[in-house]
Amino acid sequence: MRVSLLAIAAAGLAAASSVWGLSGDEENNVAIYRRLNAGVVNITNRAVAYDFFFNPIPSDSSGSGFILDTQGHILTNHHVVQGAQRLEVSLADGTKWIAKLVGADPQTDLAVLQVKAPSEALTLLPLGDSSSLQVGQKVLAIGNPFGLEHSLSAGIISSLRKIVKTGAREIEDVIQTDAAINPGNSGGPLLDSEGRVVGINTAIFSTSGGNMGIGFAIPINTAKRVVADILAHGYVVYAYLGTETQTLTPALARALELPVEQGAIVVRVARGSPAIKAGLQGGTKQVVIGNAIVIIGGDIIIGADSMKILTSEGLRRLIHKHQPGDLMKLEILRQGKRVEVEVKLTEQPR
């Protein structure tokens, strides 16, 4: 009987501990926040607008970022720093520093800042690997929503998307999460359960302006390439073909009586570009098909690097995976015949 009573008492203590104490998952959340929240910064973007009488009207907006190295480099979103006339970074110890914009890339919505804070005041966040992320994986977001002090939200990766359109921007290879991301969280880190940065919080899907359980983050592997280019050049280097294209849809293909259903119609070829040097041909006349205006008579790109090209966006994304100097093999339809063309890509003009 005594053994049974001891067993019952032990079970009761365990139950009480699970009620009053922290679960293993909660302890993990707390430990990550305590260890890394000092590496997340608040960024104030100060701009000056003018009223009807040309009186200056200063306006402030804020976002988040995180510290990359002991030289004071900080990673954030391009839209957080866009249009700034003065950037101020607040560290976790309460100190404020004027930040220099090292470089920004609107295409990936990323930017790098630098502050001249002493290295001992900087908490660095470890970078992870976003190539092996899985739907259902736990993630944590740290940021400054609505300009408040640091906050932590937890959730999972709810989807891994090839492309997301936010307003006029189109962002590739995006992490979707249900971790709460609100205005001010932009530019802050998305962390895995080991406390490694796997993404940069960038946008929310919302009809009200607040969190609705659908947030987006840029994968850290994308950010690594962007940061390396910005630190080396001050901008991001992209490969360049030099064509303006329009998507060929099955409906357009039927109307034009083409032997292919999808591809990228070459509308124009830029002077001096790799495309024109390789002999690609742009359109020669404009036609109206339904509600669409189509420039025809030029080449139609139907394949590249042994892959089918279905849309103009697909061609652009494939070009972005190349580096200047790479050779790209294109399969085109020219006057009803399939032709193969090899193009040497160059650096995209700035």
Please list, residue by residue across 64-91, b when 16 or more beta carbons sit within 10 angstroms of its beta carbon and e when fewer do: bbbbbeeebbbbbbbbbbeebeebbbbb
Among 61, 73, 79, 158, which one carries the catalytic annotation? 79
To the query of whether residue 129 is one of the catalytic residues in this protein, the response is no
- Structure tokens given for 213: 């359980």
Which one, of 29, 224, 227, 225, lies nearest residue 142 by Cα?
Answer: 29
CB 181, CB 204: distance < 8 Å: yes
Which region, left, alpha or beta, applies to residue 69 given φ > 0 means left and ψ of -120 to 50 means alpha?
A: beta
Among 105, 109, 192, 299, which one carries the catalytic annotation? 109
d(CA 64, CA 81): 10
- Structure tokens given for 264: 């990228």
d(CA 85, CA 186): 19
Q: Give the chain's end-to-end CA distance (angstroms, integer).
A: 83
Residues in the chain: 350
Q: What angle do CA 189, 160, 190 make, to 5 degrees?
A: 10
CB 182, CB 148: distance < 8 Å: no
To the query of whether residue 79 is one of the catalytic residues in this protein, the response is yes
Which one, of 45, 220, 26, 223, lies nearest residue 144 by Cα?
Answer: 45
To the query of whether residue 25 is one of the catalytic residues in this protein, the response is no
Q: What angle do CA 239, 243, 248 make, to 5 degrees?
A: 120
Q: What angle do CA 276, 280, 285 make, to 5 degrees?
A: 105
Among 61, 64, 151, 186, which one carries the catalytic annotation? 186
Please list, residue by residue across 177-187, b when 16 or more beta carbons sit within 10 angstroms of its beta carbon and e when fewer do: bbbbbbbbbbb
d(CA 109, CA 126): 21
Sort 104 into a burial class: Cβ within 10 Å, 0-12 / 13-18 / 19+. Answer: buried
- Structure tokens given for 35: 């260890």
Q: Catalytic residue numbers?
A: 79, 109, 186
